[in-house]
Amino acid sequence: MNAMLIITTVGAAFMALATIFIRMKAIKKPANIKKIILPPVFMSTGFLMFIYEPARLNISQILEALSVGILFSFLLIKTSSFEIRDNDIYMKRSKAFVFILFALLIARVIFKLLMGDVINIEELAGMFFILAYGMIIPWRIFMFIQFKKIEKKKLLAEKNESAIFRS
């Protein structure tokens, strides 16, 4: 097994653990539209990797990675919901969310170790990026829609409450 594969696998594991830690910490603060929209925007800079010739993918690799990402997004969608607490909107904590992220990390490491010798490391990185982006976009769209629904519900409740106080 080549050293670059091991180094990138360990690096990806540390980044994934940091992401899990950050997500668990962020769940303690109120949600807002910026927190939902900005991560995919910032992540989109990763598309610059495809300027580098060895990282470019053929259409079947793109479609495969995107399809798997969209399938995995349903797991995240299923475990994501919002609630109104202390007059703010918070993401509900889900025990399954952490397990899903760890399962995705383990699946990624296993897949990378199995396929690392078959597909070059740059293409594999590109495929994992497309998979991650294919997972985050549907999830964040769902979160945006859910957040807007809860926000509307909160505003209606506040409006009704203020109407009660006026009468």
Report the chain's terminal Cα–Cα distance, integer Å: 75
- Tens of pLDDT, residue by residue over 14-30, are 887 887 788 778 888 99
Q: Closest Cα to residue 46, out of 138, 112, 126?
A: 126
Contacts of 66 (CB under 8 A, 6+ apart): 130, 131, 134
The domain segmentation of the chain, as residue ranges, is: 31-157
Q: From its phi and psi, is residue 86 left (phi > 0), alpha (psi between -120 and 50) or beta?
A: left
Q: Using alpha carbons, select from 46, 98, 44 the residue that is nearest to residue 75.
A: 98
What pLDDT score does 54 carry? 92
Percentage, residues of the chain above pLDDT 90: 46
Q: 89: Cβ–Cβ under 8 A, 6 or more apart, which residues?
A: 30, 31, 32, 82, 83, 147, 150, 151, 154
Is the predicted pLDDT of residue 4 greater than 60, yes or no? yes
Indicate the pLDDT class of residue 33, thresholds 50, 70 and 90.
very high
* Whether pLDDT at 50 is above 80: yes
